[in-house]
């Protein structure tokens, strides 16, 4: 499954705290679409299915559905904040090709 860098964990915790809702988890998914075939999706979720995989990474509950978990095996979620902007980025060793936006892969 996917792991979070310390920077990403800290940022996700901040965002969850800002939401002010108990029981939120970070859901990371891979969906068909995007310019390269698959695209990443991340959002806060308060529910999980029985088949979902749940990981507690540095105090951040991360939920991934089984089909996404296969495509995210060994991937790392990072958060960067710099002059070019701020945001999350996924480094996925399973991606053979990515598009310029960094949100789509095959």
Segment (H or E) for 54: strand 53-57
The CA distance from 68 to 4, in Å, is 16
The domains located in the chain, with CATH, are 3-96 (2.60.300.12)
The CA distance from 103 to 9, in Å, is 19
The CA distance from 95 to 14, in Å, is 29
Q: What is the mean pLDDT of residues 26-37?
A: 79
Q: Which residue shows structure tokens 């990443």?
A: 40
Single pTM value for the model: 0.82
Which has the higher per-residue pLDDT, 65 or 33?
65
Helix (H, G, I), strand (E, B) or coil at 75: coil
DSSP-assigned letter for residue 102: S
Instruction: Please say if the pLDDT value at position 11 is more than 80.
Output: yes
Q: What is the mean pLDDT of the chain?
A: 85
The pLDDT value recorded for residue 83 is: 76
The CA distance from 77 to 54, in Å, is 15
Instruction: Please say if the pLDDT value at position 77 is more than 60.
Output: yes
């Amino acid at each position: 499954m996917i792991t979070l860098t310390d920077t990403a964990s800290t940022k996700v915790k901040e965002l969850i705290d800002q939401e002010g809702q108990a029981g939120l988890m970070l859901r990371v998914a891979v969906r068909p679409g995007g310019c390269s075939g698959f695209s990443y999706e991340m959002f806060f979720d308060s529910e999980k299915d029985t088949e979902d995989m749940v990981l507690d990474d540095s105090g951040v509950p991360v939920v991934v559905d089984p089909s996404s978990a296969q495509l995210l095996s060994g991937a790392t979620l990072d958060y960067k904040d710099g002059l070019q902007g701020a945001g999350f980025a996924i480094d996925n060793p399973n991606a053979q090709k990515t598009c310029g936006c960094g949100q789509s892969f095959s």
